[in-house]
A and B are shown apart, each in its own frame.
Chain A
Amino acid sequence: MEKFNTFKGIAAPFNILNVDTDKIIPKQFLTTIKRTGLGRHVFDEMRYKKDGSENPNFVLNQKPYDKSNILIVGDNFGCGSSREHAPWALKDFGIKCIISTSFADIFYNNSFKNGLLPIMVTKDERDALLEDAKDKENPEIEIDLENQEIRRPNGGKIKFKIDPFRKKCLLEGLDDIGLTELHENKIKSFEESRSTKHPWL
């Protein structure tokens, strides 16, 4: 996985409650057998009109938000299915960080596996960032994972919390499976003791 470095990017305001994974990437795009190429379908049903043309009212179709790297979103973002296609599609569009008050568990977890950073802040902080993002002249926000800090366009800073292990994996671009394989002996002895105790397992 690519290392997650400090970056400055355009933040798009997208304050809708309970955005589900069907909304992020509808089912007709789940038949892919690849991880890439889903960016043009992200938020498909909101983003395109029935005739396939872009819906000018949708935020990611508007300048400068069509080049967004950050989304400021409503509560309980990513609820619904376990489809990793949701973070793949967001990442493929160019999103590297999503900021909300809360995320659905599976989506939250899947995001880290793909170098997409979900940040949880308080409602007041999220609302302030929404206001920042709404300023089309200056919607750029800086994300510093190392120092756990969001830097606002007005120079203000918002600190955020993150699980230290997940932080390390993102910063160093670590591969989970490789890390787990370091515990190979422990896994083997666990399996052995388990099959003595409960042989049918």
Chain B
Amino acid sequence: MSKTLYDKIWQSHLINEQDDGTSLIYIDRHLVHEVTSPQAFEGLRLSNRKVNSPKRTLAVADHNVPTLDRELGIKEEDSRIQVEELDKNVEEFQIPYFNMNDTRQGIVHVIGPEQGFTQPGMTIVCGDSHTATHGAFGSLAFGIGTSEVEHVLATQTLIQKKAMNMLINITGNLDKIVTSKDLILYIIGKIGTAGGTGCVIEYSGNALRDMSMESRMTICNMSIEAGARAGMIAPDDITFNYLYEKPMVPKNEDWDKAVNWWKTLPSDSGAKFDKIVDIDATKVTQTITWGTSPEEIVSIDGTVPNPDKISDEVKQNKIKRSIEYMGLTPGQKISDVEINTVFIGSCTNSRIEDIRSAAEIIKGKKVSTNVKALVVPGSGLVKKQAEEEGLDVIFKHAGFEWREPGCSMCLAMNSDKLNEGDRCASTSNRNFEGRQGKGGRTHLVSPEIAAASAITGKLTDPRNVT
């Protein structure tokens, strides 16, 4: 019987299945960070359990770490305790760990792929909803809660029920100016933040085949913003070339065996999907968010919607509330909206390609005097690579701050946050109220639009910056 990529990975990890479909599945890789793990380790201690498979686990501190003056340590006491707790836990349970001062440290979803810890055909989990990122390699990767983190640590398995198969089929080609960030925001706008609930999404289509791994990761990363726990893209030569000789991938004959196996993973022709959504790539424009939900999108040349035109009262109220919180007016041109902060970073867009694209636009220009702009590379290795290419100099010369790797301003659990009323063009993934700091206003954008907006001080189409 024809199977989807998801069916194949699910079946090859199934240990036990009850009559009602409740299943026990094996977990190949577990990424651990400081925010969602302390209670899990505490649970292990209380029940006198060990970590089942430390070698399948990799820990890193990313959410709380400072991106400035790291040598001074963490100023905020709670954050410091949380990271110290991880230091202690990895020591006690003998888990591989990149500490805050390790060059390999970075955002958990950047370092997994970078180290080759992430590979096709695997099941990968982490106590973080953006674990979907790793699906770009053709793995089944999803976020879990702390109780499940404890469960995986103790047993290397999870109790799950199989989700539905959803196909997002992208037909035609994207305009050259349109990025993978624009595409995923457009998709979320089409299907809504609950569009993928109960599903694992597979993205397919020629437009994806031409994309780099970095771009594919941006798409899978935001699957959760469309309600899906996991998003996947079938592996191909671009995937294999990216992984080749990464530190944790199989070597020599094992590499050949692995590639041969990985080539069998893509969905069979005729495989059955429970839901299919077609996206016409030629209709996708440069897309950003105007509101406080990732589905509240607008084309960079578009306008803020008019809630009076919406008949459903609950939806109308949500849009009114978003407009109020964002300090916008219905019908306002989005490219007239002034910003005072630009954040280039996060597990969505902090990889080398993102930094290169932004630098390309920034080169030889200056950040608007009203704008505070920062670049936060996704890992120490991304930072190093960018510095070798001289990109840090371009940013610093333009007036950007060049920071140390971490989650930074994506979620304001560290010193980097928006103040009340600040408005940010951000390459991150969530524009919820208060997400980047209490009272802060977030517009989700591509690295290119973030860069262009830094120069003009308004939400700006990169083509208009010359």
Residues of A within 8 A of B (CB): 15-18, 20, 22-23, 26-28, 30-35, 45, 74-76, 79-84, 87, 102, 104-106, 109-110, 113-114, 163-165, 176-177, 179-181, 183, 186-187, 190-191, 194, 198-201
Contacts and interface: CB of A to CB of B under 8 A. Distances in A.
A82 B128 contact: yes
Contacts of A79: 193-194, 227
A201 B143 CA distance: 20
Nearest to A112: B147
B163 to A, nearest CB: 8
B433 A45 contact: yes
B229 A110 contact: no
Given A17-B315, A110-B146, 17 more contacts: A15-B314, A17-B318, A31-B76, A33-B85, A45-B434, A76-B197, A79-B227, A80-B430, A82-B129, A106-B224, A113-B148, A114-B147, A165-B22, A180-B159, A183-B16, A183-B157, A201-B122
Contacts of A163: 20, 22, 161
Nearest to A113: B147
Contacts of A190: 15, 26
Interface of B: 15-16, 18, 20, 22, 24, 26, 28, 35-36, 38-39, 42, 47, 49, 63-64, 76, 78-79, 81-82, 85, 122, 127-129, 131, 143-148, 150-151, 154-157, 159, 161, 163, 193-194, 197-198, 224, 227-229, 249-250, 254, 257-258, 261, 293, 314-315, 317-318, 411-413, 430, 432-435, 438
A26 B434 contact: yes
Contacts of A22: 430, 432-435
A81 B26 CA distance: 23
Nearest to B412: A27
Given A105-B229, A198-B258, A84 B145 contact: yes
A87 B146 CA distance: 11
A76 B38 contact: no
A74 B314 contact: yes
A21 B52 CA distance: 30
B78 A31 contact: yes
A183 B18 CA distance: 12
A167 B417 CA distance: 41
B413 A31 contact: yes
B227 A20 contact: no
Nearest to B38: A33
Contacts of B257: 198
B427 to A, nearest CB: 18
B155 A181 contact: yes
